[in-house]
Amino acid sequence: MMTLNPMDLADLLESEGFALDEDTGEVYTEPNGKRALLIILASLGKLYVVHDAEFQLGFYIPHWKCYDLDGYCDLHPNEPQCKCYDV
Q: What is the pLDDT of residue 7?
A: 80
Q: What is the pLDDT of residue 27?
A: 92
Q: What is the DSSP letter of 5?
A: P
Contact 57/49 with Cβ under 8 angstroms? yes
Question: pTM score, two decimals?
Answer: 0.65
Q: What is the pLDDT of residue 85?
A: 60
39-87 pLDDT, tens digit each:
899 998 889 998 877 777 889 988 776 556 666 677 777 777 677 765 5
DSSP 10-75: HHHHHHTT-EE-TTT-EEE--TT---HHHHHHHHTTSSEEEE-TT--EEEE-TTGGG-SHHHHHHH
